Chain A
Amino acid sequence: MNEVIERALFTAKKLGATYADVRLIERVVEDISVSNGEVKGVKKRLTKGFGVRVIVDGAWGFFSSYRVEPLEGEHVAQVAVQIAKASARTKIEDARLAPIEIYQEKVLQPVKIDPFSVPLNKKIEFMLLLDKLMEKPGIIVRSSSMHFSKEWKTFASLEGAFIEQERIVSGAGIQAIATDGREIQVRSYPASFGGDYARKGYEFIEEMKLEDNAERISNEALMLLKAKPAPSGRMDLIIGPYQMALQLHESVGHPSELDRVLGEEASFAGTSFLTPEKLNNFQFGSKYVNIVADATVDYALGGFAYDDEGVKAKRIYLVKEGLFVGYLNSRETAQRLGLEPMGAMRADNWNRQPIIRMTSINLEPGNMTLEELIEGVQEGLLIDVNKSWSIDQKRLNFQFGTEIGYEIKNGKIQDMVKNPTYSGITYEFWRSLDGVGNDSYYHILGLPNCGKGEPMQVMEVSHGSSYARFRNVTVGVKHE
């Protein structure tokens, strides 16, 4: 495999590249799904290939191939150079990269239980047990899923970087869908849309205690059918860690991607209201809002040792005591704004070039207990686990729905409510935060499916949060 890399870099340089890098990835993935007592699918996938990224004549080109062979290394580099030369036809100024420290390192990821060493029948038996626990009259769909991946990535550049990284991911989730013939209610554990994911081995699945929660979510889905609808109006909101993950993702992570800010994603994902003059100069949230982009948490799904430009993982503030202070950036965008590269360039596979992605975007815990947060609410809702999400292309107007909610009146939890939704304008919302739960409730949720870019890339990211309280939020969407 090294010969493929050497030939690619050599050819790129020979043909005039002023920068070139190669990423070679071999990844195996196992997915298992069980639904309504049947094993719906078990699949093992191997993907292997490499991509070459070059700057020639001041412009970018990228090509990739599934054929991992030395001659193909030369061919892919040649095509990448041709593509770059074509790009240069519309060039306005040369692409320039901020300098970085160059590393050569091999990084292994130790896990307690290699997920691929656990026999398939053991995983299936466990999922069928979960299915049985969720089985109740009125539950129309019971589903569980498991996902495991193991990857070996080699990154090399003309600057002398040579980094090999192992990445092992485990994830699982269960879901119960209840119906009374008129409507559907859903409950998921530990989170919706496939569950929770981390850079851990099979021990992560065991830690989730899925078997202790299977019956509960079926019961709650059935109770939601009978629950009253969530109210509409303006009231206080306490949001749990699993919905906070989506709030962080959509209204903090994406708008702080510097490529969006600079217009590079305008064709698809959109732009951002966090324009450059706002850096260090804009009150994003209240003084209780401290948000980091942290790729160094050793188990977080959004973490790694080095990004796909060879930048070592970092932890930086995006928002500090409410002030907007940081961007997710790349070497090129960092250079444009005179910033230091912070290592957020990631590609979802060998056949994609890296773009700016989230790492682990975390709201730092506060010092309040959940009881204290609730006691401080006269009229409000406690909500968690995302059900729907939508936000405008500049990341301002958002609307979220969650699976479950509870009314709060006079500082006490009251009835369960169904279909809670809330909406707002991003910075107004974050400025209304006046309390964050302590680290006993803090959880980093792994989201395996953040979509961005053309061509589309699906990235593994994560978000850590405790409970958080927001004042005077618009709840309900008056769609009747």
Chain B
Amino acid sequence: MNKERILEILDYVVKSTRADAVEAVLVGGESHLTGFANNYIHRNVGEENYELNIRVVLGKKIGASSTSDLSNDAIDAAIENAIGIAKLQKENKDFVSLPKNYPGETEFKFVSDIPDADTRASIVKVLVDESKKYGFVSSGKFEVELMQLAVKNSLGVERYMERTASTLKNIVMTDTSSGFSQDSKADYRDINVQNILEESLEVAKMAQNPVSIEPGKYEVILTPYAVEEFLSSMKYLSLSAKNIEEGTSFMKGNFGEKMFPDLITLFDDGLNDETLKMGFDFEGVPKKKVTFVENGVIGDVVYDSFYAYKEGKEPTGHSLPQPNELGAYPMNFFVGKGGSTVEDMISHVEKGLFVQRFWYTNPMEPVTLLITGMTRDGLFLIENGKITKPVKHMRFTESILNAFNNCLEISNISKIIYEDGAVTTAPYMRIKDFNFTSATEF
């Protein structure tokens, strides 16, 4: 759908809705995923899909509806639904207003070409053909999307964004091991296919015939993939105003306090060059950089307009589509880089583990951020500064807060990890006394 048609739809909704305030959000676009397993493309899918979200305000009563049917009749029905819901609602005494029109850019285009089906297949062929040469098996995906997001409300907000994103992932499996590599870029041509191939093959080869070791506390080097997965629960449990109000956040009561070592800095920045950019949120509020932790000191949280105005503050541009259970969410999360090379970090480990990836992490306790999960796709023993042997996978049970306090080094490089529509830009981290509580059979 072209930009003009999108804005025309939003304009129609805002102008024809009889309410105290109205917001129209259209999000969607085109996406394709070429999935492969067992060295061939087994799942090759695509879609064109849009969702129009409407919020209507009558006093302090809010009704919301959405539709993926963008015919005139369906749009009118969605408007009527939202008004009908608002009329039947109770007043929300904490609601102040839909977001005001904040100054800033109103149009963002972070786009490049999208590879067609043949181009995607040819890139996948490079990966699977190389695995076949070794008698290994490749699985993975090449996913591409063009997202369009437009927001208009009756307070003067009107913003439009287009963004492309591509992700190439390869997992190489041998009889006794697997190796993983992934990269995401706004332009698929910036993805270094050779790097993906080499990393996944190298790890798979090195990880063959793993030995068992006893669970316990180990010094670890976590790759960016492992860091991203380890910290994923924190993003929805700890970093928003709603988390503070509900008491799940470790930040509550600790603003301005030094809780972690100097090398820990965490922030969200939608316009940083090292992320997949977003210019504004799903309420049309421009993205602000928010620093959660700066050199170990607790900073700020993210706000949607509801929680911001409730507290007499300004929204930070982190709202998800409303209404939602999370409120605000960091869509462009960063773990600040350090000053070490990865080679140096490994060389500093007397006895420890190199963790390629974590998997299926889950929070056991929200305030201390006690997390459990498994290692996956590469786990190696480090002895006297060198990676020596592959190890069978283990379960960890560790608190993110402890891990930050035990962080010894952070790499001077980081990587974009794009999962479920949100981005984490993470470095390697060296952490002591990381707790592994059991092992598995492979």
Chain A residues within 8 Å of B32, by CB: 83
Query: Beta-carbon contacts of B379-410 to A below 8 Å, as 1s and 0s?
Result: 00000000000000101011100000000000
Judge whether A353 is part of the interface by a CB distance below 8 angstroms. yes
Chain A residues within 8 Å of B317, by CB: none
Judge whether A68 is part of the interface by a CB distance below 8 angstroms. yes
Judge whether B422 is part of the interface by a CB distance below 8 angstroms. no
- Are B397 and A141 neighbours in the complex by a CB distance under 8 Å? no
Binds A, one of B113-121, B157-165, B278-286: B113-121
- Are B171 and A45 neighbours in the complex by a CB distance under 8 Å? no
A455 to B169, CA, bound (A): 13
- A259 to chain B minimum Cβ distance, whole angstroms, is 9
- Are A353 and B45 neighbours in the complex by a CB distance under 8 Å? yes
Binds A, one of B47-55, B265-273, B343-351: B47-55
Judge whether A316 is part of the interface by a CB distance below 8 angstroms. no
Query: Beta-carbon contacts of B341-376 to A below 8 Å, as 1s and 0s?
Result: 000000000000000000111111111001011101
Q: Knowing A66-B49, A89-B122, say if A423 contacts B323 (CB, 8 Å).
A: no
Chain A residues within 8 Å of B43, by CB: 60, 62, 264, 353, 355, 454
- Are B65 and A44 neighbours in the complex by a CB distance under 8 Å? yes
Query: Beta-carbon contacts of A20-40 to B below 8 Å, as 1s and 0s?
Result: 000000000000010000111
Chain A residues within 8 Å of B247, by CB: 140-141, 177, 179, 184
- A64 to chain B minimum Cβ distance, whole angstroms, is 4
Residues 53 to 98 of chain A near chain B (Cβ within 8 Å): 59-68, 79, 82-87, 89-92
Judge whether A477 is part of the interface by a CB distance below 8 angstroms. yes
Q: Knowing A263-B38, A423-B438, say if A184 contacts B65 (CB, 8 Å).
A: no
- A146 to chain B minimum Cβ distance, whole angstroms, is 13
Q: Knowing A87-B41, A90-B124, A184-B367, say if A388 contacts B372 (CB, 8 Å).
A: yes
A121 to B61, CA, bound (A): 12
Judge whether A183 is part of the interface by a CB distance below 8 angstroms. yes
- Are A43 and B44 neighbours in the complex by a CB distance under 8 Å? no
Which of A65, A68, A184 is within 8 Å of B48, CB to CB? A65
- B321 to chain A minimum Cβ distance, whole angstroms, is 10
Interface size on A, residues (CB 8 A): 82
Binds B, one of A290-298, A393-401, A442-450: A393-401
Chain B residues within 8 Å of A390, by CB: 360-362, 372-374, 395
Q: Knowing A38-B92, A479-B398, say if A91 contacts B40 (CB, 8 Å).
A: yes
B375, closest chain A residue (CB): A392
A208 to B441, CA, bound (A): 42
Judge whether A154 is part of the interface by a CB distance below 8 angstroms. no
Chain B residues within 8 Å of A43, by CB: 64-66, 85, 323
A455 to B397, CA, bound (A): 29
A424, closest chain B residue (CB): B438
- Are B88 and A266 neighbours in the complex by a CB distance under 8 Å? no
Judge whether A108 is part of the interface by a CB distance below 8 angstroms. no
- Are A41 and B395 neighbours in the complex by a CB distance under 8 Å? no
Chain A residues within 8 Å of B264, by CB: none
Judge whether B31 is part of the interface by a CB distance below 8 angstroms. yes
Which of A41, A87, A268 is within 8 Å of B64, CB to CB? A41
Query: Beta-carbon contacts of B11-24 to A below 8 Å, as 1s and 0s?
Result: 00000000000000
Chain A residues within 8 Å of B367, by CB: 183-184
Judge whether A47 is part of the interface by a CB distance below 8 angstroms. yes
Which of A92, A177, A479 is within 8 Å of B437, CB to CB? A479
- Are A44 and B81 neighbours in the complex by a CB distance under 8 Å? yes
Interface size on B, residues (CB 8 A): 96
Binds A, one of B68-76, B101-109, B219-227: B68-76
Judge whether A478 is part of the interface by a CB distance below 8 angstroms. yes
Q: Which of A67, A355, A474 has the most CB of B within 10 A?
A: A67
Which of A42, A63, A265, A389 is within 8 Å of B362, CB to CB? A389
- A118 to chain B minimum Cβ distance, whole angstroms, is 12
Judge whether A421 is part of the interface by a CB distance below 8 angstroms. yes
Judge whether A128 is part of the interface by a CB distance below 8 angstroms. yes
Chain A residues within 8 Å of B178, by CB: 266
Chain B residues within 8 Å of A91, by CB: 40-41
Which of A49, A86, A456 is within 8 Å of B68, CB to CB? A49
- Are A33 and B323 neighbours in the complex by a CB distance under 8 Å? yes
Chain A residues within 8 Å of B28, by CB: 66
A479 to B325, CA, bound (A): 30
- Are A454 and B49 neighbours in the complex by a CB distance under 8 Å? no
Q: Knowing A423-B438, A479-B437, say if A120 contacts B88 (CB, 8 Å).
A: yes
Chain A residues within 8 Å of B36, by CB: 90, 267
Judge whether A387 is part of the interface by a CB distance below 8 angstroms. yes
Chain A residues within 8 Å of B359, by CB: 270, 392-393
Judge whether A48 is part of the interface by a CB distance below 8 angstroms. yes
- Are A83 and B35 neighbours in the complex by a CB distance under 8 Å? no
12 A-B pairs with CB atoms under 8 Å apart are A40-B323, A48-B74, A63-B46, A87-B41, A90-B41, A91-B41, A120-B88, A177-B247, A392-B395, A399-B438, A423-B395, A454-B141
A-B pairs, top 7 by smallest CB distance, nearest first, are A41-B323, A86-B117, A397-B440, A266-B139, A86-B121, A43-B64, A479-B397
Beyond A41-B62, A353-B43, list 15 extra A-B contacts (CB 8 Å): A39-B89, A41-B322, A43-B65, A44-B65, A62-B44, A64-B45, A65-B49, A66-B49, A84-B44, A86-B116, A87-B44, A267-B35, A268-B141, A392-B360, A479-B370
